[in-house]
Chain A
Amino acid sequence: MEIKLRRRSRLSSAIRYAVLLIFGLIMLYPLIWLIGASFKTNAEIFSSPSFWPDNPTLSGYIQGWQTSTPYTFGRFFWNTFLIITPKVIGTAISCTLVAYGFARFEFPGKRILFATVIATLLLPNVVTRIPQYLLFRDIGWLDSFLPLWVPSAVAGDAFFVFMLIQFLRAIPRDMEEAARVDGANTLQTLVYIVVPMLMPAIISVCLFQFMWTMNDFLGPLIYISSVDKYPVSLALKLSIDTTEAFDWNQILAMSVLALAPSLAVFFLAQKYFIEGISTGGVKG
């Protein structure tokens, strides 16, 4: 009886591992294949389901980097960096201030204001997009990075505010109260006590914002019209449109480069992603 049970559980766990492994392989194969294909020649690109290139070549990378525009992909990566950096910094600072305000203070109208955070979380962007565009047009910010930066600098991403509030709720207040007794004001308490304790969550927010901005396409599509300001996402779309018979190996090579920063960041800091997304969903 005892032995039978043990054997059965060993078998079922073997089955579970097998299922997970096979499924994981199916999941990751498109990405593996993409990386392999980026080193193939154009002639080979549709010839076999194997990801391994027969005659590996860097020509996809070398030619793809040049693009059909006067700029190289280096320019588009630089633009992406110019969009991301202020956006991430603005998000981190503004969302931390706001989450602190919600989690540690009582003020008239707080409940209603917090309800708007939740409502904004569920509000489809599609409703506000057109007037936002008209607003930025009237200010004269079209074809600049400002429309991509500014909303984030005023805690425009409700998800991050919500996430930080959730984290703050789980942090005990003793340290802060002790600091206040010692004569620190609320801002000093925030900077010297709360921020260090909240750091893992703030890093989560920065990483998510980094990824989302890397992936953002519709924002730049609407606001950026000059090619010299294009981020990578628009440049990729342009390269699909401009190659007549699709130089697949060039497009795929540039796709690999476009994904590389996100993949690197994810593997270096996956724990922050897992914690961030779990907190947003579970402790709510």
Chain B
Amino acid sequence: MGGDSKYLGYFYVAPYVAGLLLFTAFPFAASFYLSFTDYDLLSSPRWTGLDNYTKLFTRDRTFDRSLQVTLLYVFLTVPIKLAFALLIAVILNYRLKAINFFRTAYYVPSILGGSIAIAVLWRYIFAEAGLVNMIIGVVGIEPINWFGDPDNALITITLLRCWQFGSAMVIFLAALQSVDKSLYEAASIDGANQWHLFRYITLPLITPVIFFNLIMQTVQAFQEFNGPYIITEGGPLKSTYLLPLYIYDKAFKSFDMGYASAIAWVLFAIIMVLTLVAFWSSKKWVYYAGDKRS
């Protein structure tokens, strides 16, 4: 675009820059500032230094509990979900005739994703006399108290999100389909079996996508709100009281904006640290083929 001013691009990205400043950068900085204040919406924010953080880490039992169940939830949900997604994608990749049909069938739950209707459905099928207990009853297992027992409630949310492995699966499948078939043929001639092919060719080639899914799903899981809010309402005994619920209650029920911001920043710090660790470790396990696109 020879004759154009070198500033012409700004005209097109202007909306993004406006949005970035107004709705991302400014709120980002503001929430950091607010986390050092006491702010109840009635009077202006009062600077309290590190008080919020000190209270969080030393005198807030609810926070301890909430952090614990959040970490448990994320470390349970993300690996199971990704393992499912990869397994199904690998099976689908065997040039099956009905690949499109299955891909669609498995993707449907993900599309309905975070909708309240699905959360309502979950609440119903895990109810005391609900579908799940009826089905395990047929096999002869005693009905399980899903929502009354603090040991079980979180599992229902994990199951809900693992049921929605579709988008990760679609991404895996696209990556698997772009693997060069001639590599397999060459290796097969050298006597490699199915497992070798998967372990030494497929897996290394799709590590970038595993990495992408891992990051995306982790960031998402840390922000889970709809599931516990509707299905278990954070209970029993706060066993599903994930940090986003705690932040919501502090901010929009007790109007304790400063404290809520501090919790949000702790959550953000955890996500950041894990993301950085993932990026840093990716040098060791993520294999990037030469970039074919210029």
| Binary interface encoding of chain A residues 149-179 relative to chain B, with 1 for a CB under 8 A from any of its CBs, else 0 | 0010111100001000000011000000000
| Binary interface encoding of chain B residues 3-30 relative to chain A, with 1 for a CB under 8 A from any of its CBs, else 0 | 0101111111101111110111011101
Given A135-B27, A240-B230, A154:B116 Cβ within 8 A: no
Q: Which of B12, B17, B28 is in CB contact (< 8 Å) with A128?
A: B28
| Contact-residue size bin, chain A (C-beta under 8 Å from the other chain) | 35 or more
Residue of A nearest to B222 (CB): A124
Which stretch from A52-60, A66-74, A81-89, A255-263 is at the chain B interface? Answer: A255-263
Residues B12 and A100 in contact, CB atoms below 8 Å apart = yes
CB proximity of A95 to chain B, nearest CB, Å = 8
Determine if B178 is an interface residue (Cβ-Cβ < 8 Å): yes
Residues B112 and A215 in contact, CB atoms below 8 Å apart = yes
Determine if A20 is an interface residue (Cβ-Cβ < 8 Å): yes
Determine if B251 is an interface residue (Cβ-Cβ < 8 Å): yes
Q: Which residues of B contact A240 (CB under 8 A)?
A: 120, 123, 230
Residues B117 and A255 in contact, CB atoms below 8 Å apart = yes
State the majority secondary structure of interface residues on A: helix
Taken together as a complex, chains A and B put the C-alpha atoms of A125 and B23 apart, in Å, by 10
Determine if B153 is an interface residue (Cβ-Cβ < 8 Å): no
Residue of A nearest to B270 (CB): A124
CB proximity of A121 to chain B, nearest CB, Å = 8
Determine if B268 is an interface residue (Cβ-Cβ < 8 Å): yes
Taken together as a complex, chains A and B put the C-alpha atoms of A255 and B178 apart, in Å, by 38
Determine if A144 is an interface residue (Cβ-Cβ < 8 Å): no
Determine if A198 is an interface residue (Cβ-Cβ < 8 Å): no
Which stretch from B51-59, B72-80, B180-188, B207-215 is at the chain A interface? Answer: B207-215
Q: Which residues of A contact B230 (CB under 8 A)?
A: 237, 240
| Binary interface encoding of chain A residues 16-38 relative to chain B, with 1 for a CB under 8 A from any of its CBs, else 0 | 11011001100110110110010
Q: Which residues of A contact B112 (CB under 8 A)?
A: 31, 215, 259, 262-263
| Binary interface encoding of chain B residues 137-176 relative to chain A, with 1 for a CB under 8 A from any of its CBs, else 0 | 0100000000000000000000000010001001101110
Interface on B for A, CB 8 Å cutoff? 1, 4, 6-13, 15-20, 22-24, 26-28, 30-31, 34, 88, 91-92, 94, 96, 98, 102-109, 111-118, 120-125, 127, 129-131, 134-135, 138, 163, 167, 170-171, 173-175, 178, 208-209, 212-213, 215-216, 219, 222-223, 225-226, 229-230, 243-244, 247-248, 251-252, 257, 260-261, 264-265, 267-268, 271, 275, 293
